[in-house]
Structure 1
Amino acid sequence: MSEDRVTIAIEDGIAEVTLNRPDKLNAFDAAMFAAVSAAGDRLMTEPGLRAVILTGAGRGFCAGIDTSMLMEFAQDLDALRAEIVSPPGGRAANRFQHPCTVWADLPVPVIAALHGVTYGAGMQLALGADIRIAAPDTQLSIMETRWGLIPDMGLTKLLPGLMRADQALELILSARVVVASEAQALGLITRLADDPLAAARDAARAIAARSPEATRGAKALVRASWPGSDEQLALEARLQAAIIGSPNQMEAVMAGMQKRAAKFT
């Protein structure tokens, strides 16, 4: 994987995919975007795969996007906007959406084991899993509006089947942090466990013991029947391309970094 940002261990048909940047709370930088995408693409063709576990090394699952990337984006906004609205190879998902949506597209069940912070990009990555098991002290946030942006890593495909539109909008607009118990009540978390990784491993072993055709069929059935599909990804991309790099968005970034109130025009 790119710069060892992600590790993959496979045993008895179960792949354990670990975000491996613990010193930065597994925040997404360019290397992490590439590594998570590559991990998902690799497992698409892994023979004998029965289930996948997503987890994060260290004190948290994922703190979101590395703020250094926000500065990098400002260097060539026209190229960035073009990339956002032009997915590669005819794919529905662009480079920023694919690390999250690839897990929903994987034919086998994916379980996210969440602990510590699960913010922004990390929240959207967790939504890409089919099942989310979280420690009671997990903190979750759809945080993009804090940086003057909209969530643009596949949330429009991944969230609609989980919670009501008004509740989703409130979380998006407020960017507030919710604890695991509230997140479970809202539908963001499947269940709580004191040791979410151990619980995810138990769940994966139980899935692996079932007929592989039945488990793949069950995932395909649920993903096709619940709201949320690839069609919304293009709208997500168009809206973000119009927002990113605007004066108010850049002001949101600067205000956040300087820990002051933003002055929007």
Structure 2
Amino acid sequence: MEARVTIEISEGVADVRLARPDKLNALDPAMFAGIIDAIARLEQAPGLRAAVLSGEGRGFCAGLDMASMAQSGLGGGSGLDIAARTHGLANDFQQVAWGWRTLAVPVIAAIHGVAFGGGLQIASGADIRIAAPGTRLSVMEMKWGIVPDMAGYALWRGNVRDDVLRELAYTAREFDAAEAQASGFVTRIAEDPHAEALALARAIAGRNPHAIRAAKRLANLEADAGETLLAESREQAGLLRTPNQIEAVMANMQKRPPNFID
């Protein structure tokens, strides 16, 4: 069986692609395993500074391959213990989306074609989501009589307007990239989202990698104002007067590219 997910890393940027184009990258057991493995590999990749997540072929991800999941015994109320936490806060199905949010480096999703159901939740795990103008999206689970359960609600909270999310979850209707941007599912729209995402990832990779990771930790923090203020101070104290922080200052003053260490 061909790999369901491919990874190419160049100059600190991982180009990660869902690779089941004949099925619009729909999620079967092998795709779930491939995404979980890809996240684990990236967690251990030396010198990684950013990642781009996209889908090969005509779409990002069409969501669950219901026939394949049912055949494998992983769908249709098979008795699988989805309450078991297999990856920290998440189960296996949630990890394919939540794992991008907990990855130490920024992740940019490049979305085109379709992002339905689980595919939309996977894209939502990225820090930033860039969509092609013609992209079709849907919180599709209600079509199958179920609810989003691949970390969607945890990822959408704070990004997507609550009443809009409720309407889309209750109806499972499709919406386009412009509506997705207006409601918070998508960060911005670009004619070539993959090229735009790679350019952004390379720009991020050119910044102090320790500061970027600290910024992502702060962005992921769910705490009250007092804890957040203290966390800011601790992260900043850990960065000030370090070699990379000094290099950022010197490179700016000398108007040259910085040379950071990982």
**Superposed pair shares fold, TM > 0.5:** yes
Corresponding residue SS for 2:33: helix
Aligned to 1:51: 50
Corresponding residue SS for 1:97: helix
Q: Which amino acid aligns with 1:97?
A: Q
2-side partners of 1:69 and 1:152: how far apart?
Answer: 18
2-side partners of 1:212 and 1:148: how far apart?
Answer: 43
Aligned to 1:173: 170
Aligned to 1:87: 85
1-side partners of 2:197 and 2:69: how far apart?
Answer: 33
Cα distance, 1:221 vs. partner? 1.1
Cα distance, 1:151 vs. partner? 0.4
Q: Which amino acid aligns with 1:96?
A: F
Larger Cα-atom Rg: 2
* Identical aligned residues as a percent: 50
Point out which structure has higher relative CO (alpha carbons under 8 A, 6+ apart). Answer: 1
Q: Which amino acid aligns with 2:83?
A: V
Could you say what the CA RMSD is over the residues aligned between the two structures, in angstroms? 1.9
Aligned to 2:212: 215
Q: Does 1:152 align with 2:149?
A: yes
Deviations 1:192-221 (A, max 9, x none): 100000000110010001110111111111
Q: Retained in 1: the 8 A contact 2:131–2:188? A: yes
Distance 1:10 1:67, change over 3 A: same
User: Where does 1:180-191 land on structure 2 (aligned, <5 Å)?
Assistant: 180-191=177-188
Corresponding residue SS for 2:221: helix
Q: Retained in 2: the 8 A contact 1:83–1:94? A: no
Cα distance, 1:156 vs. partner? 2.2
Cα distance, 1:224 vs. partner? 1.0
Deviations 1:145-188 (A, max 9, x none): 00000001011221102012211111101111110001000011
Distance 1:224 1:58, change over 3 A: same
Distance 1:173 1:160, change over 3 A: same
Cα distance, 1:226 vs. partner? 8.4
Count of residue pairs the alignment pairs up = 224
Q: Which amino acid aligns with 1:172?
A: A
Structure 1: segments with no counterpart, 5+ residues: 228-265
Q: Structure 1 stretches (4+) deviating beyond 4 angstroms?
A: 73-78
Aligned to 1:141: 138
Structure 2: segments with no counterpart, 5+ residues: 225-262
Corresponding residue SS for 2:81: helix
Q: Retained in 1: the 8 A contact 2:69–2:75? A: no
Aligned to 1:162: 159
Q: Which amino acid aligns with 2:63?
A: G
Q: Which amino acid aligns with 2:122?
A: L
